[in-house]
């Protein structure tokens, strides 16, 4: 049952609502339960989403969204997307990002009711008409995103309002074709997704190749390295260390890559987009956490979190270990192998 914390903007039977989450890939995906909850409460609503072009694939094709507005991060593009949004006549914006760049778009678009939490960065809350009190930490993956709706008196259910990554038949066809080219079977291989956006979240390179060798030797499960185009160098270094064939895939589109994740038995990765994608498509996941607190993931079904508590955790973007990244180095191959083995066994039950 939702608990209303503030006087909500007036919403009729068919409101026009804009969700504002520009980036990043994982955070955008974690915001998608908002669209589902809104659609269920307002079946006749016109729901839009403004997002940076790089992350647009996360929401394009989402059945709960009527229109996706893409911003290319240029000034000219900003002017264009603001005009586009203004033309849609949105009544309410929900800023689930909380940055100046996200708050300024609905403000420039003259949306009458602009909602967001007051604990924004860069004083972005000053552009809101309805700043909401900061919520307590929520032990579920969609966290603050659904809490924003709850604060407005809109019913949410974290067990039912789940991450949604839209895939179509073509995405799945491309993924199956790539799988066949590698002579692999659906749900009979492991995806290793080593790449992250920050070095303090990386696991040691040599351990990925050792893990792949252990998975093949002890479970007869082949592994595949998956990443984006910018991750090729890292993935190829890991593959070269391995004594068995370790295919590298970094040329799939984002949607095709997520379709490929859907085919895997288990995905292993640090705190980055692939673990969110695996959660969205129902692939069992082993997540390696260091500088960030994984409390949002611990109660989620289908994901095993590996971490080691240290006095310096969580350090987020400000590590104090001088580059040692001890929290990630403490995660052993034995731990990860054991977690994958359990996930494979449970999937067979």
DSSP structure string for 37-66: HHHHH-TT-EEEEEEEGGGGGGTTT-TT-S
Cβ(281)–Cβ(261) below 8 Å: yes
Residue 2: pLDDT over 50: no
Task: Calculate the alpha carbon distances from 57 to 10, 52, 139, 282, 329 in Å.
Answer: 31, 10, 27, 18, 33
Q: What is the pLDDT of residues 44-61, one digit of tens each?
A: 999 999 999 999 999 999
Res 268 pLDDT > 50 = yes
Please state, in angstroms and rounded to a whole number, the distance separating the CA atoms of residues 115 and 315. Answer: 29
Give the containing element (helix H, strand E) for 117: strand 113-117
Q: pLDDT digit string (tens) for 138-176?
A: 878 888 899 999 989 899 998 899 999 999 999 999 999
pLDDT grade for 1, boundaries at 50, 70 and 90 = very low
Dihedral, 42, 45, 50, 56 alpha carbons, nearest 10: 80
pLDDT surpasses 60 at 3: no
Q: What mean pLDDT is predicted for residues 26-44?
A: 96
Give the pLDDT of residue 197: 87
Coil, helix or strand for 320?
A: coil
Residue 278 has pLDDT above 60, yes or no: yes
- Name the pairing type of β-strands 285-288 and 266-270: parallel
Q: What is the pTM of this model?
A: 0.93
Q: What is the pLDDT of residue 349?
A: 56
Q: What is the pLDDT of residue 296?
A: 87
pLDDT tens per residue, range 185-232: 999 999 999 999 888 999 999 999 999 999 999 999 999 999 999 999
**pLDDT, the chain, mean:** 94
User: Per-residue pLDDT for 320 more than 90?
Assistant: no
Of residues 317 and 62, more confidently modeled: 62
What local confidence, expressed as pLDDT, does residue 7 receive?
Answer: 67
**CA-based radius of gyration for the chain:** 21
Are 294 and 328 a contacting pair, CB within 8 Å? no
Is 36 within 8 Å of 145 (Cβ atoms)? no
């Amino acid at each position: 049952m939702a608990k209303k914390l503030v006087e909500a903007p007036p919403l009729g039977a068919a409101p026009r609502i804009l969700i504002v989450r520009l980036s990043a890939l994982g955070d955008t995906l974690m915001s998608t339960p908002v669209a589902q909850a809104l659609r269920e409460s307002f079946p006749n609503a016109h729901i839009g989403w403004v997002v940076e072009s790089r992350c647009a694939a996360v929401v394009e094709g989402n059945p709960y969204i009527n229109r996706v507005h893409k911003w290319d991060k240029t000034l000219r593009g900003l002017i264009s997307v603001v005009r586009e949004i203004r033309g849609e006549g949105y009544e309410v914006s929900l800023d689930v990002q909380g940055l100046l760049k996200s708050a300024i778009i609905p403000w420039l678009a003259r949306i009458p009711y602009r909602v967001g939490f007051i604990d924004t960065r860069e004083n972005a809350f000053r552009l809101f008409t309805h700043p909401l009190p900061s919520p307590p930490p929520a032990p579920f993956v969609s966290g603050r995103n659904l809490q924003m709706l709850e604060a407005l008196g809109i019913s949410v259910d974290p067990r039912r309002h789940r991450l949604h990554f839209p895939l179509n038949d073509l995405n799945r066809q491309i993924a199956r074709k790539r799988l066949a080219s590698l002579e692999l079977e659906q749900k009979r291989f492991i995806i290793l997704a080593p790449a992250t956006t920050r070095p303090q979240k990386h696991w040691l390179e040599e351990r990925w190749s050792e893990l792949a060798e252990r998975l093949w030797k002890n479970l007869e499960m082949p592994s595949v390295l998956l990443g984006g185009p910018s991750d090729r160098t890292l993935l190829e270094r890991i593959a070269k260390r391995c004594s068995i064939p370790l295919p590298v895939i970094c040329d799939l589109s984002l949607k095709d890559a997520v379709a490929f994740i859907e085919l895997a038995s288990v995905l292993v990765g640090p705190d980055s987009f692939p673990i969110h994608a695996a959660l969205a498509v129902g692939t069992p996941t082993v997540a390696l956490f260091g500088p960030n607190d994984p409390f949002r993931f611990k109660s989620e079904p289908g994901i095993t979190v590996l971490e080691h508590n240290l006095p310096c955790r969580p350090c987020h973007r400000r590590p104090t270990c001088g580059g040692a990244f001890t929290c990630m180095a403490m995660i052993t191959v034995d731990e990860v192998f054991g977690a994958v083995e359990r996930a494979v066994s449970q999937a067979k039950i």
